Chain A
Amino acid sequence: AQSVSQHNHHVILSEAASLELGCNYSYGGTVNLFWYVQYPGQHLQLLLKYFSGDPLVKGIKGFEAEFIKSKFSFNLRKPSVQWSDTAEYFCAVNARGGATNKLIFGTGTLLAVQP
């Protein structure tokens, strides 16, 4: 069965610090990979996605993620965080070519950025 692991449950950073959130998945086949963000009181929204091609993908608000196939990882990065990045971040996986459009989510990482 597919699963997604996010090892950082809570992260506290000061503004301008660099961010890296870990995401590892377990699935033997080809996958589509996603990072979602949930700002306080707002909808879950897509931050970035990887389907194929360049393993370094850029998303909204200066975020990027790198797919490392050999490590089954899709870590999220941002060089300099802002207070407005305070949110919960979810990594998700979709098994490509599967019979369904299902997403498997990680447990989430709560990021608090201190001004």
Chain B
Amino acid sequence: DGGITQSPKYLFRKEGQNVTLSCEQNLNHDAMYWYRQDPGQGLRLIYYSQIVNDFQKGDIAEGYSVSREKKESFPLTVTSAQKNPTAFYLCASSAWGGSSYNEQFFGPGTRLTVL
């Protein structure tokens, strides 16, 4: 059953702690993405990776870090430097390359609450 998994579904952390969100895909996609969703603000791109061992900042990368050591995995760390980390985080993946757009597929999301 192909798809994207994100764990856990709900995550609670104390202020000042780093936390890592998991994203795994078995779609054999080269590209992976992290979005943040806040009420009334839509989805905003945090980081994306086109290929293993490479990633680029999105529009709101401050306070976040990522790694891409394996094709199927793209974990996101929310650091203590992120001023407003409570949000819903969505991971996506797509094929990469060619001149046309490659459809992004989304995971179920992780709701992070920082207390």
- Residues in chain B near residue A105, CB distance under 8 A: 35, 42-44
Alpha-carbon distance A97/B99, docked complex (angstroms):
6
Q: Is the CB of A107 within 8 A of B99?
A: no
A44 within 8 A of B: yes
Q: Is the CB of B101 within 8 A of A9?
A: no
Q: Is the CB of A96 within 8 A of B42?
A: no
Q: Is the CB of B101 within 8 A of A101?
A: yes
Q: Using a CB-CB cutoff of 8 Å, which residues 68-115 of chain A contact chain B?
A: 90, 92, 94, 96-97, 100-103, 105-108
Q: How many residues of A contact B (CB 8 A)?
A: 24
4 nearest CB pairs, A to B: A44-B106, A105-B42, A105-B43, A107-B42
- Residues in chain A near residue B109, CB distance under 8 A: 43-44
- Residues in chain A near residue B99, CB distance under 8 A: 97
Q: Is the CB of A96 within 8 A of B43?
A: no
Alpha-carbon distance A46/B48, docked complex (angstroms):
20
In terms of DSSP, what is the predominant structure of the interface of chain A? loop
Given A46-B103, A94-B101, answer yes or no on A100-B42 (Cβ-Cβ < 8 Å).
Answer: no
Q: Is the CB of B42 within 8 A of A90?
A: yes
Q: Interface size for chain B: under 10, 10 to 19, 20 to 34, or 35 or more residues?
A: 20 to 34
Alpha-carbon distance A14/B30, docked complex (angstroms):
43
B63 within 8 A of A: no
Residues of A at the B interface (CB closer than 8 Å) are 4, 6, 9, 32, 42-46, 49, 51, 90, 92, 94, 96-97, 100-103, 105-108
Q: Is the CB of A43 within 8 A of B101?
A: no
Alpha-carbon distance A9/B58, docked complex (angstroms):
25
Contact with A along B73-115 (1 / 0, CB 8 A): 0000000000000000010001010011111101111000000
